[in-house]
Structure 1
Amino acid sequence: MPDSPLLTAAAVAVIAMAIAVVVAVGLKVLRSFRELGTDAERATYKTLHAASRAGQHLRTGLNPAGAAKASRQLRGLLGCDALAITDTTGVLAWDGAGEELRPALMGLAAKVLDGGPTAVIPAGELQPLAGRTLTPDVERAVVIAPIRAGARVVGVVAAFAPAAGAGLVRATGEVAGWVATQVELAELDASRTLLMEAEVRALRAQISPHFIYNSLNAIASFINTDPVRARELVVEFADFTRYSFRRHGDFTTLAEELRCIDRYLLLERARFGDRVQVSLRIAPEVLSTVIPFLSLQPLVENAVRHGLEAKEGPGHISITANDSGAFAEVTIEDDGVGMDPEQLRSVLAGHSDGDHVGLRNVDTRLRQVYGEDNGLVIETAPGEGTLITMRVPKSQPRHDA
């Protein structure tokens, strides 16, 4: 056929283009593979990635749900046939083959749980120690390493493999040490939570004697002269105390805290009259920001008690809340008597008891929750009033109001 050379040429062209595409794709894949680094770098990344994923599951300490998920990642790190995690009372998780040995593991780990060193049981010795007949495919060696949290052994990591070489022994010990670190971090988080709760209880105790006594006296003064006002103040007092002494949650919203402050100031104005003047400027977009419970009210109380109460004549408190990028910024400013900066530093460092304890408690809690760089910023001087600034992240996925 006359056009066969043309068809042949077209076919060759198509084949050439296909080869070019394949080569281009291959080069791209090869290039992306090289970007992953050397074999050692890829192995390091794989190890760190597995450790990171396992750490997420141990964030709440040693418990069956977290241990079961972490054990899968940790078995991959060790490359063993099976991996088990226990606490001091029983097996929390078992991943891999040989679960026939699960009932015997606590007995095998008894000496390690009592404070002994890592135990290595060769494959030939495991069967009689397990107290049962094992099929040949179940016969394995086991390395049992203690999980030490401080001076305590809180559990073990047990790795099962055909043989227990020096590499497996060292690696199992390192994994157990890493698990111990996660347990200690979980315990630290729990301690921090308890400390925050203690700080909140301290703030409630601070509110209780001073403020309640004065508020009830102020309400009593209106019973005969203005009973309607007295009833209104009783309702405000009940709402304030209900909020302040609630038993659930370490966090609230900025809007809820501002409502609490409004009730507090209504009660204080009933006592001080026109001596306490207040202005607010609140950006609506930050009202839903989550903040630690009772973190603003003590700052306003500090402004009233230590700023304006000792001042002659009227005093002014300004409360603002603004959107500052990733943060909500709240300021509380008074034109009261102020205080000596050195005394303030002593209060915040915990070297001075009594007055201004609310400032120290709030500052401590903010640093515990958001980091050392996120405490209160306080500007003050004798006779110059006080300006307190608090910045909190607008996005806090782990904190529920």
Structure 2
Amino acid sequence: MRGSVILAGAVLAIWTLVYLVTQVLVDPPLAILPTIGAGTVLTVAVVLGYPSALRGPRGRGGARVGGRAVRREERDRLEAARGVRDLAAAGRSVPLRSGLTPEAARRTAELLQPMLSGDAIAITDRQDILAFVGPGADHHRVGGEMQTRAAVRAIEKGRTVVVQDRAGLGCKVPDCALQSAVIAPLAIGSRVVGSLGVFQARMEIPPKQLVEDMATMLSLHLELAEMDRERRLATHARLDALRAQINPHFLFNILNTIASKARTRPDEARELLLRLSEFFRYAVRQEGHFAEFAQEYYFVRTYLSLEQARFGERLQVRYDIDPQVLTSRVPVLTIQPLVENAVKHGIADKKEGGTVRLRARVDPLTRTTSIRVSDDGVGMDPAVLARLMRGQDEGAGGDDEDGALSGLGSSGHAGVGLRNITERLETLFGDRYDLSISTPRGGGTVVDLRVPMT
């Protein structure tokens, strides 16, 4: 409103001046047309030049409104927004995504230096310097303890520390080139694990908001790295638990079978003993979480050959394996427990015995491997099946046979074996796998497993 009043006053003054000059001060007075033309030209010139003449030039002049503090705040805000966009664009490539290690810290510091416009960047854990890039690297040495009191305060207090002079920085080296800094803590949850420091070799401090935003984003990557580490540890623990759950009853039964054949059929007993050693060697020494299907297939065949030596004609086995599946990779120790359940809870409880079938296919279009284990045994109680499909677990870890690798028993146990397998599959694949159990009308049990190709 004030600007409009000023402009209107200026226009009025122009026309008053034009009237006085053209009509009063000159003799004879000018004609009306030249007078109006002169007034119009001067009015247009003032209106067009009004923004620069009365309010200052556009652009940098606008930044002067409100003084130096407004200019600096605006600049810091723009730099922070630009830096966050740059780091967000880096995404998963941020090295700290792999954890707070010296190598990851060094690469992160090098990545952040141009983003943060700092003379020096430091990343520390709670005690030592993990990375330092820029002036002062001669005494802020990687692997050594933190040289500034400000970094120690930021970690101990768990909040950002702003330093505006060399005395506040508290560097142990008197002639350190660094004079100002913003140091923000790095945290995993509520636990401070390190710090991010941005230093300047001049009195002007780095933009605080930008440094805090970067520290927050790096903390998020550290949390994700921690979650990955815990997930890997949990997966290893489940695999170790699965190895430890090899059914002692299976071992005792096979050893009894071997002992009974040692006198009458020594060659067969020796062959069974070799197969048993191969079975346990694979189960215990298999490294990693994946193996070629061909290896798992051999492991399953070894197990079933041992069971056939015990059950004789009561146990029949049928294989339907697509050759393309043999080179695909599947989770280790996943198929054998399902086959063991078919033998133990399907065929063993059926007086006349039955047949266990293993079928495997690969679908290159959906890039999945499908495995089916089925039997024509006694089947499964509907209540037990319902509990399994709901993911419930009853009686896990008892002293009976269901506490072993098996987990689908008709005795009412969901079993730690199936739960262990399911948890491992969830860890490895998330929701990209499918495990279903059904009981056909003709009897028996069918377990279908579908996993993505790796």
Task: Confirm or deny a common fold (TM above 0.5).
Answer: yes
Q: Map of 1:1-400 to 2, 5 A cutoff?
A: 46-54=86-94, 57-100=95-138, 102-103=140-141, 104-105=146-147, 107-126=149-168, 129-134=170-175, 138-161=177-200, 162=202, 163-164=204-205, 168-246=207-285, 248-325=287-364, 326-347=367-388, 349-352=391-394, 353-354=396-397, 355=402, 356=407, 357-380=416-439, 384-394=443-453, 396=454
Tell me how far 1:246 sits from its aligned partner: 1.4
Tell me how far 1:322 sits from its aligned partner: 0.9
Distance 1:110 1:46, change over 3 A: closer
TM-score normalized by structure 1?
0.79
Unaligned runs of 5+ in 2: 1-79, 408-415
Distance 1:347 1:199, change over 3 A: farther
CA distance in 2, matches of 1:391, 1:172: 46
Distance 1:42 1:171, change over 3 A: closer
CA distance in 1, matches of 2:155, 2:190: 12
CA distance in 2, matches of 1:372, 1:341: 26
CA distance in 2, matches of 1:114, 1:343: 54
Tell me how far 1:185 sits from its aligned partner: 1.7
CA distance in 2, matches of 1:201, 1:208: 14
Distance 1:97 1:150, change over 3 A: same
Q: Which letter does structure 2 place at the counterpart of 1:343?
A: V
Distance 1:367 1:76, change over 3 A: same
Distance 1:106 1:197, change over 3 A: farther
Distance 1:338 1:159, change over 3 A: farther
Check conservation: 1:283, 1:321, Cα contact below 8 A.
yes
Unaligned runs of 5+ in 1: 1-39, 397-401
Check conservation: 1:283, 1:322, Cα contact below 8 A.
yes
What SS does the aligned partner of 2:285 have? coil
Q: Which letter does structure 2 place at the counterpart of 1:300?
A: V
- CA offsets per residue over residues 252-279 of structure 1, 9 Å max, x none? 2211111111110011001111111111
Check conservation: 1:53, 1:73, Cα contact below 8 A.
no
Is the deviation greater in 43-52 or in 247-256? 43-52
TM-score normalized by structure 2?
0.71
CA distance in 1, matches of 2:372, 2:254: 25
- CA offsets per residue over residues 77-104 of structure 1, 9 Å max, x none? 3232222111123111123344246255
Distance 1:194 1:380, change over 3 A: farther
Distance 1:350 1:78, change over 3 A: farther
CA distance in 2, matches of 1:201, 1:117: 41
Check conservation: 2:113, 2:120, Cα contact below 8 A.
yes
CA distance in 1, matches of 2:157, 2:290: 40
What SS does the aligned partner of 2:264 have? coil
Distance 1:164 1:45, change over 3 A: closer
CA RMSD of aligned residues (A): 2.5
CA distance in 2, matches of 1:139, 1:225: 87
Check conservation: 1:101, 1:130, Cα contact below 8 A.
no
Distance 1:344 1:84, change over 3 A: farther
What SS does the aligned partner of 2:291 have? strand
Matched pairs, number: 349
What SS does the aligned partner of 1:130 have? coil
Q: Which has the larger radius of gyration?
A: 2
CA distance in 2, matches of 1:329, 1:96: 55
